[in-house]
């Protein structure tokens, strides 16, 4: 099977990464001190020790609390710069970054501060590291639809910065159908649409994301296996799933990685990609996910190359850029 270095060297696209989920404890404490924000932990070690999650919600509680240290445009740029340097070392050549504007505007941070900070660092990475990419604005599904609607309107002042919209945060009880109108408005602006579905929620949420939101990719989607007709549809229509093995393990969606459905999905003909979700919290970046898969499920060189190639094909990069990356 392929070496760690071989897995890092494979050119890949990162399609499921929350930029706020790349906030490492060291940077969190540095920004907390710089901005005079109190963290509910005394030290880097104490914060890192809290990364022991029972489910999605227990992670989200810590994720939203810690990101309060992000205040200025430069904070968002620094966070993104740190991530893109690590991503480059892990073989990422194209990165589509999720961000959660409502989690920042609720704290009084203007959406322009968020978008300009992350976007500026992406521009630098394109120039200095040869990484292409863009931003996908995620609506928080556990917040009111009216808030999502206002967020989209505010973000459209930076329309040229956005690749698309997505849907994240607490899943169960917040079906995609709630967000049908705001997704329709985003698509009318020419934005791509993706959605988290079938992480903790049922396969029916994946169907809703496809039918009602026009989702072009499904983030996670592992619960699709409960519905054979849906699996057939995903395969037939080449709807990619952005799967995150270490995240699924840490959030107890699939506590035993050796039983993870990654290969089963691929063998059923679904376009499956390997991604990192919130790498600072879940124990690894994208190549670390490939390595964990190799060490638990097994991963041949041919399989690793296929997953990496699928990530490029499933990206929103231009055809010319995809040809360059393959
Ligand atoms: N699921 C839902 N919302 C999220 C996640 C996730 O894995 N990461 C950050 N926000
Ligand atoms: Zn996610």
Binding residues, by number, are 16, 18, 196, 277-278
Largest distance between two CA atoms of the chain: 53
pLDDT (mean) for 233-255: 97
Provide the mean pLDDT of the chain. 98
Q: What CA–CA distances, in Å, run from 183 to 51, 123, 165?
A: 33, 27, 8
Q: 118 pLDDT band (50/70/90 cuts)?
A: very high
Ligand 1 pocket, residue 73 CB under 6 Å: no
In angstroms, what is the span from residue 7 Cα to ligand 1's centroid? 25
Q: 198 pLDDT band (50/70/90 cuts)?
A: very high
Looking at ligand 1, which atom is closest to the CA of residue 278? 8
Q: 12 pLDDT band (50/70/90 cuts)?
A: very high
Chain-centroid distance of CA 152 in Å reads 19
Give the pLDDT confidence of 62-98 residue by residue, as tens digits: 999 999 999 999 999 999 999 999 999 999 999 999 9
pLDDT (mean) for 207-231: 98
**What domains sit in the chain, N to C, each tagged with a CATH number?**
4-314 (3.20.20.140)
Give the pLDDT confidence of 159-180 residue by residue, as tens digits: 999 999 999 999 999 999 999 9
Q: Could you tell me if residue 285 is left (phi over 0), alpha (psi between -120 and 50 degrees) or otherwise beta?
A: beta
Ligand 1 pocket, residue 315 CB under 6 Å: no
Q: 313 pLDDT band (50/70/90 cuts)?
A: very high
Chain-centroid distance of CA 149 in Å reads 21
Cβ proximity of 288 and 324 under 8 Å: no
Q: Enter the ipTM.
A: 0.96
At 243 the three-state DSSP class reads strand
Task: Report the share of the chain in percent with pLDDT over 70.
Answer: 100
- Quote the pLDDT of residue 271: 98
Helices (H), 200-318: 203-213, 228-236, 245-250, 262-267, 279-282, 286-296, 301-313
Pick the closest to residue 260 from 273, 270, 275, 249 (CA basis).
249
Pick the closest to residue 190 from 166, 222, 163 (CA basis).
163
β-strand partners of 135:
97, 162
Q: Among this protein's residues, is 73 annotated catalytic?
A: no
- Which of these is catalytic: 14, 78, 171, 199? 199
Residues in the chain: 326
Tokens encoding 248: 């699924």
* Rounded-to-integer distance, Cα 279 and Cα 112, Å: 25
* Rounded-to-integer distance, Cα 144 and Cα 167, Å: 13
pLDDT (mean) for 12-17: 99
Binding residues for substrate, by number, are 278
For the entire predicted model, the pTM comes to 0.98
Pick the closest to residue 136 from 242, 10, 235, 271 (CA basis).
242
Q: 144 pLDDT band (50/70/90 cuts)?
A: very high
Q: What CA–CA distances, in Å, run from 197 to 1, 167, 313?
A: 32, 8, 21
Residue nearest to atom 3 of ligand 1 (CA): 169
- Quote the pLDDT of residue 220: 98
pLDDT (mean) for 195-209: 98
- Quote the pLDDT of residue 190: 98
């Amino acid at each position: 099977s392929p070496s760690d270095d071989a897995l890092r060297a494979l050119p890949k696209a990162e399609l499921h990464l929350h930029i706020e989920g790349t906030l490492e404890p060291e940077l969190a404490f540095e920004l907390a001190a710089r901005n005079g924000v109190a963290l509910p932990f005394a030290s880097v070690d104490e914060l890192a020790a809290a990364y022991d999650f029972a489910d999605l919600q227990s992670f989200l509680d810590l994720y939203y609390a810690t990101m309060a240290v992000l205040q200025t445009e430069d904070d968002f740029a620094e966070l993104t710069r740190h991530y893109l340097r690590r991503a480059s070392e892990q073989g990422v050549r194209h990165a589509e970054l999720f961000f959660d504007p409502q989690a920042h505007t609720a704290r009084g941070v203007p959406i322009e501060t968020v978008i300009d900070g992350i976007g500026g660092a992406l521009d630098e990475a394109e120039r200095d590291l040869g990484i292409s990419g863009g931003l996908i604005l995620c609506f928080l599904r556990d917040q009111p639809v009216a808030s999502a609607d206002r967020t989209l309107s505010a973000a459209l002042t930076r329309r040229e910065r956005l690749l698309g919209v997505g849907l994240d945060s607490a899943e169960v009880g917040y079906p995609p159908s709630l967000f049908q109108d705001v997704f329709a408005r985003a698509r009318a602006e020419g934005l791509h649409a993706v959605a988290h579905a079938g992480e903790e929620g049922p396969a029916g949420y994946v169907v809703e994301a496809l039918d009602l939101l026009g989702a072009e990719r499904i983030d996670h989607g592992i619960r699709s296996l409960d519905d054979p007709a849906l699996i057939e549809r995903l395969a037939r229509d080449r709807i990619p799933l952005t799967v995150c093995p270490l995240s699924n393990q840490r959030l107890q969606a699939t506590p035993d990685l050796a039983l993870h459905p990654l290969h089963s999905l691929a063998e059923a003909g679904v376009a499956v990609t390997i991604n990192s979700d919130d790498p600072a919290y879940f124990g690894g970046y994208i190549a670390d996910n490939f390595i964990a898969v190799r060490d638990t499920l097994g991963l041949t060189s041919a399989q690793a190359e296929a997953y990496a190639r699928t990530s490029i094909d499933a990206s929103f990069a231009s055809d010319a850029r995809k040809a360059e990356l393959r």
